[in-house]
């Protein structure tokens, strides 16, 4: 069954604006990861946050994790047209035997 | 250098045929995966191999059979293809640890069954 669900399903912003995507999940996790998928390409790992971490940064990316609410958010600051892609959260659920369960994705469009 | 490669990139075939997709990784990882992404971009794991041993086998028709000749390769063979098998299939690899670290994905194989 689907573990993570992203919100919104689609997001359209102007270049330079910030983009925020949310992910909710159902079971206890070891870690949560965010991936990007450009059209027609494979997924690329962006950032991993462990269950005992609350916030993590990588360049223009900021990820937060709230295990009490079973939710995470991905913030992309100062967006660029090249950030246009689908973004997926993936959870490594406790007891899942190293299996990642992906959410349904958010399609981000950054308009120049 | 390509980290995870898949062949072919596109595969168009008729119902009832048998086809294979090949995957190779040069990252030295000992865990490899096959995922299926449907037309709504929903990504679902199919199989996972660790050191050539099957560790995840989700509810997948037994027409799908993975084969891992060594830990750098994980191939997917599909028998008696059906229209519903049309999708993009991704291979991925990661370090084998008790928890799942980041996965490296191949470029995908778009399978179209007519």
Is residue B112's pLDDT more than 90? yes
In tens, the pLDDT along B1-60 reads 679 999 999 999 999 999 999 999 999 998 899 999 999 899 999 988 887 788 777 778
Rg of chain A taking only CA atoms, in angstroms: 13
Closest in A40, A45, A98 to B99, CB measured: A98
Q: Which of A42, A45, A49, A89 to mutate to test the interface with B (most CBs of B within 10 A)?
A: A42
- Averaged pLDDT for residues B95-108: 81
> At which residue do the structure tokens 């079971």 appear?
A27
CB-CB neighbors (< 8 A) of A43 in chain B: 43, 90, 92, 103, 105
pLDDT of residue B55: 75
Residues 6+ apart with CB under 8 A from A44: A35, A36, A37, A38, B105
In tens, the pLDDT along A29-50 reads 989 999 999 999 999 999 999 9
In tens, the pLDDT along B50-62 reads 877 887 777 789 9
- Averaged pLDDT for residues A50-65: 96
Q: Are A98 and B49 in contact (CB under 8 A)?
A: no
With an 8 Å Cβ cutoff, are B99 and A97 in contact? no
CB-CB neighbors (< 8 A) of B42 in chain A: 2, 102, 104-105
pLDDT of residue A88: 96
With an 8 Å Cβ cutoff, are A98 and B41 in contact? no
Rg of chain B taking only CA atoms, in angstroms: 13
């Amino acid at each position: 069954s689907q573990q993570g669900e992203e919100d919104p399903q689609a997001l359209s912003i102007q270049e330079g604006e910030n983009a925020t995507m949310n992910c909710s999940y159902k079971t206890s996790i070891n870690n949560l990861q965010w991936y990007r998928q450009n059209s027609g390409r494979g997924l690329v790992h962006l950032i991993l946050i462990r269950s005992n971490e609350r916030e993590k940064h990588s360049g223009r990316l900021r990820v937060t994790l709230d295990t009490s609410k079973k939710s995470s958010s991905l913030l992309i600051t100062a967006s660029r047209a090249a950030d246009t892609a689908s973004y997926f959260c993936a959870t490594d659920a406790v007891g899942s035997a190293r299996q990642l369960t992906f959410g349904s994705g958010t399609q981000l469009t950054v308009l120049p | 250098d390509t980290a995870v490669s898949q062949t072919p990139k596109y595969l168009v075939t008729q119902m009832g045929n048998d086809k294979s997709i090949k995957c190779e990784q040069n990252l030295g990882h000992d865990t490899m995966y096959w995922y299926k992404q449907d037309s709504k971009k929903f990504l679902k794991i199919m199989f996972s191999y660790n050191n050539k041993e099957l560790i995840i086998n989700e509810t997948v028709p037994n027409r799908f059979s993975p084969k891992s000749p060594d830990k750098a390769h994980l191939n997917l063979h599909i028998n008696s293809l059906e229209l519903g098998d049309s999708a993009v299939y991704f291979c991925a690899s990661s370090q084998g640890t008790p928890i799942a670290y980041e996965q490296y994905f191949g470029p995908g194989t778009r399978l179209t069954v007519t």
